[in-house]
Structure 1
Amino acid sequence: MSLVRFSAGAMGAALVLAASQAAAHAHLVASDPAQNATVAAPKQITLHFSETLHPKFSGFDLSLDGAPVPVKAKIAKDTMVGTPAKPLKAGAYQIKWHAVTPDTHRMEGLYTFTVR
């Protein structure tokens, strides 16, 4: 019986460990402008992630109706901040981001916002 308890306990510990490792990926937790928001032209775009990012391998692209929009991005700890080269004009923008954590997990995603 104690062998069964030990096995169940070991199995539970393995599941907790596997779950914590699976959660060790950077996820976008907040952004400004927010997803699906309609805003006045922002001077900066800020993306906050759930984990520290590897600056050399993380970043984002901004596009307006599929056309690239130049952005100068900086990465510090868990945050990406991008400054558009020119004021953003009215339209639907898409941000396509990629984030790599120090443990080399790569995540990517996208979201949209609209400038009025």
Structure 2
Amino acid sequence: MTVLRCTAKTLRAYVRDGELTYVLKGAGLKRPRRLFHPDDLAAFIARRRRTECPSTSQKAAKPTSSTSNVVAVDFASVPRPQRSAPPSRSRLPSASAPAKPSRRSATPPTPSGARPR
């Protein structure tokens, strides 16, 4: 592990995938102890060695033409539909209904010329 500088979990994954060979130590079957030969580690490192950056050296996929019937629409240029009827009058207060008294009219009127105290 110190040669490869990876965790035991990563090392077990390399073994499970067949990328890294090992030598069994002991006769235990429940918890096999694996030893790694220096030559096997050197071969593993040589196989995994890279000189280019995989994320930037891969060629991008060529663009393909679209076969769908999708059309792009600029919503700012689309005219709004005309309203079919004006808003109904049921929401507006009617002229025949008595007006609700306001808080100011709830106080008794003062006689004209008299000042309130």
Instruction: Tell me the TM-score normalized by structure 1.
Output: 0.20
Higher strand residue share: 1
Higher helix residue share: 2
Instruction: Tell me the TM-score normalized by structure 2.
Output: 0.20
For the pair shown, the structure with the greater C-alpha radius of gyration is 2
Q: Which has the higher contact order (CA 8 A, sep 6+)?
A: 1
